């Protein structure tokens, strides 16, 4: 699998890199850990092996990013660093502070903003990559068990992006800066920025307003 990655993806000049290393997000570090244990291995072994194989094929190494919905903190950093990850981020923090099934999107914006402010003070073991979300409504997939954050708009999403930009600009440990957006087209979870009939390209314009004024994309 790693040889396929190297051959088909890592050699492409547009593949995203941090510190010269191609970036690979591990969506579920917990699941990787369980799978490793089935083979009598540690999760860290499953990261160091492909890293070594990549180097054998001329790749500088692989920048593995752990994805976790837990609140960023020193203990989480220490754990992921021990597992062999180069950085960590979150997929979404919809239920981190407010466990309500239905709530407004605005407090979700505040939660993310507070996480960015707190994370800027605790990067001791691993760099944290800011994660943002345009909304959440899992009724298409979750039916009666769905979690909904109402009244999300491109303008409110832009309010979430601005503190993410501020956080990103303070990161000194990562030369190539990055913000993770959840997601491009998760229509089944109500988290998407792909153009649709209702909003057109306004979500993309929100990103451009915050990140794209200095250079054309």
Segment 77-106, tens digit of pLDDT: 999 999 999 999 999 999 999 999 999 999
Q: Inform me whether the pLDDT recorded for 33 exceeds 70.
A: yes
pLDDT at position 176: 67
Q: In what order do the strands lie in the sheet with 21-26?
A: 17-18, 21-26, 63-67, 87-89
The alpha carbon of residue 93 and the mean position of all alpha carbons in its chain are separated, in whole angstroms, by: 11
> Hey, CA dihedral for 198, 202, 206, 208, is it positive or negative?
positive
Token pair 């054998």: residue: 56
Band (pLDDT 50/70/90 cuts) for residue 174 is: low
SS3 content of the chain, % helix, strand, coil (to 5): 45, 15, 40
Q: CA 174: distance to chain centroid? A: 15
Q: What is the mean pLDDT of residues 20-43?
A: 92
pTM of the full structure: 0.90
Cis bond before residue 183 (omega within 30° of 0) = yes
Q: Is the pLDDT of residue 175 over 80?
A: no
Mean per-residue pLDDT of the chain: 90
The answer to whether the beta carbons of residues 165 and 211 sit under 8 Å apart is yes
pLDDT of 53 above 90: no
Answer yes or no: are the C-beta atoms of 101 and 147 closer than 8 Å. Answer: yes
Residue 214 binned pLDDT confidence (cut-offs 50, 70, 90): low
Q: What percent of the chain has a predicted confidence (pLDDT) above 90?
A: 65
What is the pLDDT averaged over residues 53-81?
Answer: 90
C-alpha–C-alpha distance, residues 138 and 46, integer Å: 32
pLDDT of residue 203: 97
């Amino acid at each position: 699998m790693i040889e396929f990655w190297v051959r088909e993806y890592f050699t492409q000049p547009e593949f995203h890199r941090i510190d010269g290393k191609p970036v690979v997000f591990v969506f579920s570090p917990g699941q990787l850990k369980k799978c490793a244990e089935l083979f009598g291995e540690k999760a860290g072994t499953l990261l160091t092996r492909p890293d070594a194989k990549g180097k054998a094929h001329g790749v500088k190494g692989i920048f593995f990013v752990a994805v976790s919905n837990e609140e960023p903190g020193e203990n989480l950093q220490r754990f992921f660093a021990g597992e062999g990850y180069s950085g960590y981020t979150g997929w979404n923090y919809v239920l981190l502070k407010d466990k309500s099934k239905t709530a407004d999107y605005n407090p979700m914006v505040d939660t993310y903003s507070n996480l960015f402010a707190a994370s800027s003070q605790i990067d001791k073991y691993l760099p944290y990559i800011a994660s943002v979300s345009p909304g959440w409504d899992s009724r298409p997939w979750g039916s009666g068990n769905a979690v909904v954050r109402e009244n999300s708009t491109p303008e409110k999403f832009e309010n979430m992006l601005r503190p993410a930009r501020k956080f990103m600009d303070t990161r000194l440990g990562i030369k190539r800066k990055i913000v993770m957006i959840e997601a491009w087209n998760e229509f089944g979870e109500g988290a998407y920025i792909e153009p649709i009939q209702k909003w057109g390209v306004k979500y993309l314009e929100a990103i451009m307003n915050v990140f794209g004024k200095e250079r054309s994309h």
